[in-house]
Amino acid sequence: MLERLGAEVVRVRRPEEFATVGGLVIPGGESSVIDKLTRIFGLREPIRDAIAEGMPMLGTCAGLIMLADTITDAIDGQQTFGGIDVVVRRNAFGRQVESFEASLDVPALGPEPVRATFIRGPVVETVGSDATELAALADGRVVAVEQGNLLGISFHPELDGETRFHRRFLKRVAEQSALIGQRIPSR
């Protein structure tokens, strides 16, 4: 998706790769595995530091869990990176066979509805005062939030060709890169 939108993509598996990027997408998958692997490969603290420094990040599905300050239904010892003032519940939509699609109103992305595919995704149970709700299902369950340069969504927009969340993320990466360039004196 990011390459299709013209971004240079670096697959981040180690701290030296992470040090080369201006933003990070934390994809879907299994949040407990993402947690374990980032600790094993020494990425947890660099990611947490980057969040504190304002690096733009987009978390989809398991990525939302990793960006949440608080998680319910976590496995023993599971940790998040934090950064978004929300409480999320893992696998809130049930098993994979209970996956579904929905149309969401996301005013921050324009008047056209967002087509969203949910696969064992999390739901935001509580939105804290520092975070902003971007979208909810018809029953009121919150499925998209943001805080500063962090975006978190419960679904997989890439499966539907939905580019607006990725474009919003890339815009923030460009803005952050411009700010950093202004703060670094040229030689």
Catalytic residues: 61, 156, 158
3-state secondary structure of 7: coil
140/16 Cα distance (integer angstroms): 41
Helix extents (H) in 10-130: 15-18, 31-40, 44-52, 62-67
80/74 Cα distance (integer angstroms): 10
Helix extents (H) in the chain: 15-18, 31-40, 44-52, 62-67, 164-183
Q: Pick from 32, 3, 51: which is nearest to 163 by CA? A: 3
Q: Pick from 159, 163, 9, 147: which is nearest to 85 by CA? A: 147
